[in-house]
Amino acid sequence: MRWSFLRGGTALLVATGLLSACASGGGTADESKVRMAPISFNEIPGWADDRQGEALVAFKRSCPKLTSGSASKIATDGGEKTITAAEWKLICHSAQGVKDTDTPAARRFFEENFRPLIVQAPGSFTGYFEPELRGSRAPSRIYTVPVYRRPSDLGDAPYYTRAEIEQGVLKGKGLEIAWVQDPVALFEVQVQGSGRIHLAEGGTLSIGFDGSNNRPYTAIGGVLADMGVMRREEATWPAIRNWLKRNPQKGREVMRKNERYIFFKDTRSTAAAGSQGVPLTAQRSLAVDPRFTPFGTPIWVDTQRPVIGKPGQVEIYRHLFIAQDSGAAIKGPARGDVFFGGGANAADWAGRMVGTGQAIVLVPNRG
Q: What angle, rounded to 10 degrees, do the helices at 85-96 and 52-68 form? A: 140
Q: Say if residue 139 is in the same domain as residue 259.
A: yes
pLDDT at residue 28 in the model: 40
pLDDT band at 253 (very low <50, low <70, confident <90, very high): very high
For residue 320, give the CATH number of its domain: 2.40.40.10
* Whether residue 209 sits in one domain with residue 158: yes
Q: Is 22 helix (H, G, I), strand (E, B) or coil?
A: coil
Q: Residue 36 contacts by C-beta under 8 Å, 6 or more apart in sequence?
A: 75, 76, 77, 117, 118, 119, 120, 333, 361
Range(s) of the domain holding residue 333? 44-128+279-364
Ramachandran area for residue 133 (φ above 0: left; ψ -120 to 50: alpha; else beta): beta
Q: Is the same domain home to 335 and 250?
A: no
Are 311 and 268 contacting, i.e. CB atoms less than 8 angstroms apart? no
Answer yes or no: are the C-beta atoms of 296 and 363 closer than 8 Å: no
Radius of gyration of the chain (CA): 21
Q: Calculate mean pLDDT across residues 230-240.
A: 87
Length of the chain: 367
Strand partners, 44: none
The verdict on residue 18 lying in a domain is no
Tell me, yes or no, whether 154 and 68 share the same domain.
no
* 2-11, 19-28, 78-87, 173-182: which is most confident: 173-182
Residue 29 has pLDDT above 70, yes or no: no
User: Of 205, 237, 266, which residue sits at a domain end?
Assistant: 266
Average pLDDT over residues 23-36: 52
Q: How many domains does the chain have?
A: 2
- What CATH number has the domain bearing residue 175? 2.40.240.50
Is residue 234 in a domain? yes
Q: Does a structural domain hold residue 84?
A: yes
Residue finishing a domain among 244, 266, 288: 266
79 vs 261, more confident? 261
User: Would 39 be classed as within a structural domain?
Assistant: no
- By CB atoms closer than 10 A (0-12, 13-18, 19+), residue 39 is middle
**Is 4's pLDDT higher than 60?**
no
Whether residues 244 and 206 share a domain: the answer is yes
Give the mean pLDDT of the chain.
89
Each residue's pLDDT tens digit, 57-99: 999 999 999 999 999 999 898 888 999 999 999 999 999 999 9
Indicate if 148 and 119 belong to the same structural domain: no
Decide which of 191 and 25 is more confident: 191
Q: Model pTM?
A: 0.80
